[in-house]
Structure 1
Amino acid sequence: MSSFQHLAPELRLHAGPDSLQALVRELDRNGCRRAAVIGSASAARPGGGFDLLRPVLGERLCGVFAQTRAHSPVDAVQEAVDFLAASRADAVVALGGGSVIVTARAASILLAEGQPAHALCSRREADGRWTSPRLQAPKLPQFVLPTTPTTACVKAGSALHDPASGRRLALFDPKTRARAIFLHPALLRGAQADVVRAAALNCLAMAVEGLESSRADPLSDASLMHAVRLLDEHLPARLDGDGQDAHREALMLAAVLCGRGTDIAGGGLASALGHAIGPRSHVPNGVVNAIVLPHTMAYNAPASGARLAKVAAALGERPRQGGDAATLAVGRLRQLLDRLPIARTLREVGLAREQVPAVATAAMQDWFLQYNPRPIDSAAQVQTVIEAAWGE
């Protein structure tokens, strides 16, 4: 056996139609008496998620915030900070997809630290080193009720979008990791099919990047390979109509497995490009991930080629002895993507050709880039991959 360490955070997860019965128990376990709920406008509609949650929380509910926005822009997060301060909450319940969960975490960080996101975010220094401030203040406990298959539900990072500068402001604080997660079928059923699919595509890209990574270990590989198997089986399925619950629940489990696995293995270039392009093109990061992933895999193949055999195996293709694992894995991934109703080029999602240099520069500042299996030293290298994915 080769030497490795697998240091994983605690996971408390409740799944099923009776999962919300455990929410009050988990609040009690953490000594919480005033729960503020952060969600989206869709959750606030009649019959939405808030209606399901109110009777569960009862008198513990001290306020509801439904003004979150896609990509967690700084101004929307600041509104959530003001809401938490006014509510005098001692717990935060995040009900929604990735942007909701990130907004809840980021607002808790900004409230506790008393500083703007620019002062607290991770950054790449002029000499190329990556630094991340230690955020010492106690944070409000987080309880997460996801509605889409997002890895954010098990993560401790919170990335905000600054529309003024175009920067991604990444905050990291282990104290904001969910104290408990609740997977309820009615909540997973509520999101639109294209939103669910986009979140699952983000999960697919992250799982592939984790399997490419030299930081992975046998336990993270097991989680990530099974995540890819679930995604391969359930992403092409109908996510509305009869039978949708089983597919949505399987995709949610894939997201949990992927989030846990990539805590060990890290991300890479496809994730960084999703972060840089998604807000600029006003499309979900997962759609961008799906477009660029075959190209980032090909770019990384000189460094990760042998590890791509794990990706191919998870997608149902076992490379022959001495075979080209990279070509097999990329080809099998393209077959999966061809079955989905999604764009396949960056041109189709509205990225202008003249935006490519700015996107490459922005991606160079992304924390995920340091884990890319093939080192990236210049924006010109990133630009080559973007241009390949732009299409003709």
Structure 2
Amino acid sequence: MKAHEFRLVSYPLRLYSGKDALENLPLELKRQAARRAFIVCGRTVSRKTGLITRIRRLLGEACAGVFDEIEKDSTLVSILRARDAAREAMGDLVIAVGAGSVLQAARIVVILLAETRPVEELVTQYQEHGPAVSPKLLAPKLPIINVLTAATTAQNRAGSGAKDERVDHRLEFFDPKTRPVAIFWDAGALLTAPPSLVRGTAVSVFWRAVMNLGSTGMNPLVEGDRLQAFRLARNALPRIADPADPQPRIDLCAAAFLQNREADDGGTMFAKHWVGRVVYAFATALFNIHPEVSQGEANSAFTGTVTRRLGPRNLPEMVRIAGALDAWDHTQPPEQAPARAADALEAIFRSTGMPTRVGELRVPRESAPRILEHALKNFNADPQREFARERDILKDILLAAW
């Protein structure tokens, strides 16, 4: 009965999907009483596609300006410049155009426009002993509209991360008021993404769908969200190579959206088993330290090794994952589930051209100490600071992944 005792939290949101979905953008500005929309994006979407020109045409005089230099992994330097540009333009609404890095950066931009405290006082605080603490950010925030160019779980979150070279971990911000008021899965916008980006984001969405299937004790809404997200991601993965077909890209956006919704439906944002937590922490550290590596590549490079080494800690979860991948059934010992799940996942990753070892990414082993230190300070993966007690084991697993 415990799985049927839960709380659901719902947030106001409008979502537009399909061909010419962006034609509804002026309506959303009117709904928010916005007159000066400020666009935040990266260089590629602005300078190598016609998407920003299209959005400016739709906005007309309501476009207050564009900042198109958000850097990969949402660097704090580029975010501060975007904040200053938005402030100078007197924007009253922010439109984020892109994928994970841009969407997270836009949320931090509106936080920094509103909050007056120094940046270091706005981010998650890591105490020497005890759990991490996320400060409350109480100032009202500008509304945000997200226009996706690739599937990402960043599309409807309240948390955001920024890369700052001055510290040994990612800066983490959390503010529910930065959730978007509208999301667009426009077919034309999604087709602007290059194949490498689509493949990386597709693998990231699929990876999380697999990890979340391992959870036990899900309430019926969360279970439905997770099963459908897995089905959409798994079916879309072999079809993403077609540069003219937006359908698998929209399916991946829907899968990522469901992965966010499950937290609102009473689930957890991240899988609680050790495999999911450690892969996420290692991968996040890797692609932040080495920006040439995508999140999808980082996930695929660590998953097999971590599953084999830490999967036995959570056998019921590994049984569920291996079973969902058709790699295990109840005639086999549960102890075989971690290895079978790892083999199946590595086969899927290889079929899409993704790495299954860190060494395939040409990342030097000398980066391992920095990766470990970053991973030990990841609030999403380890809010109770359990990783610190497992430092030696995690170090051994990290090196084994090469």
What TM-score comes out, normalization by structure 1 length?
0.91
> What is the SS of the residue equivalent to 1:265?
coil
- Aligned CA distance change for structure 1 residues 94 and 241 (closer, same or farther; 3 Å): closer
Give the equivalent residue in structure 2 for 1:245.
Answer: 246
1:4 is aligned to 2:5: yes
1:30-88 Cα shifts (integer Å, max 9, x gaps):
22221111111122236521122112212211111101110011100100110111111
Provide the rounded CA distance (Å) in 1 between the counterparts of 2:393 and 2:14.
41
Provide the rounded CA distance (Å) in 1 between the counterparts of 2:22 and 2:206.
28
Give the equivalent residue in structure 2 for 1:319.
Answer: 329
Read off the aligned partner of 1:277 and give its amino acid letter: L
User: Could you say what the CA RMSD is over the residues aligned between the two structures, in angstroms?
Assistant: 2.4
Read off the aligned partner of 2:257 and give its amino acid letter: V
> What is the SS of the residue equivalent to 2:19?
coil
Whether contact under 8 Å (1:206, 1:271) holds in the other structure is no
1:150-196 Cα shifts (integer Å, max 9, x gaps):
11001111100112334200100000011110100001000111111
Tell which deviates more after alignment, 87-96 or 120-129. Answer: 120-129
Aligned match for 1:169, one of 168, 171, 189: 171
1:107 is aligned to 2:109: yes
Whether contact under 8 Å (2:96, 2:144) holds in the other structure is yes
Provide the rounded CA distance (Å) in 1 between the counterparts of 2:94 and 2:78.
16
1:266 is aligned to 2:269: yes
Provide the rounded CA distance (Å) in 2 between the counterparts of 1:238 and 1:107.
32
Tell which deviates more after alignment, 354-363 or 295-304. Answer: 295-304
Give the equivalent residue in structure 2 for 1:336.
Answer: 348
Read off the aligned partner of 2:351 and give its amino acid letter: R
Whether contact under 8 Å (1:123, 1:365) holds in the other structure is no
- Aligned CA distance change for structure 1 residues 26 and 304 (closer, same or farther; 3 Å): farther
Give the equivalent residue in structure 2 for 1:73.
Answer: 75
Aligned match for 1:57, one of 49, 56, 59: 59
Whether contact under 8 Å (2:199, 2:240) holds in the other structure is no
Whether contact under 8 Å (1:73, 1:162) holds in the other structure is yes
Provide the rounded CA distance (Å) in 1 between the counterparts of 2:248 and 2:332.
36
Aligned match for 1:86, one of 88, 104, 117: 88
Provide the rounded CA distance (Å) in 2 between the counterparts of 1:123 and 1:217.
31
Whether contact under 8 Å (1:71, 1:99) holds in the other structure is yes
- Aligned CA distance change for structure 1 residues 344 and 47 (closer, same or farther; 3 Å): closer
Q: Structure 1 residue 104: deviation in Å?
A: 0.6
- Aligned CA distance change for structure 1 residues 215 and 346 (closer, same or farther; 3 Å): farther
Corresponding pairs, count: 389
Tell which deviates more after alignment, 278-287 or 91-100. Answer: 278-287
Tell which deviates more after alignment, 30-39 or 129-138. Answer: 30-39
Give the equivalent residue in structure 1 for 2:155.
Answer: 153
Unaligned regions of 5+ residues in structure 2, if any? 271-276
Provide the rounded CA distance (Å) in 2 between the counterparts of 1:135 and 1:298.
40
Give the equivalent residue in structure 1 for 2:188.
Answer: 186
Whether contact under 8 Å (1:205, 1:270) holds in the other structure is no
Provide the rounded CA distance (Å) in 1 between the counterparts of 2:174 and 2:38.
22
Whether contact under 8 Å (1:36, 1:63) holds in the other structure is yes
Provide the rounded CA distance (Å) in 2 between the counterparts of 1:239 and 1:128.
46
- Aligned CA distance change for structure 1 residues 128 and 170 (closer, same or farther; 3 Å): same
Provide the rounded CA distance (Å) in 2 between the counterparts of 1:4 and 1:304.
23
Tell which deviates more after alignment, 39-48 or 86-95. Answer: 39-48
1:357 is aligned to 2:366: no
Provide the rounded CA distance (Å) in 2 between the counterparts of 1:350 and 1:215.
40
Provide the rounded CA distance (Å) in 1 between the counterparts of 2:356 and 2:383.
25
Provide the rounded CA distance (Å) in 2 between the counterparts of 1:389 and 1:218.
36
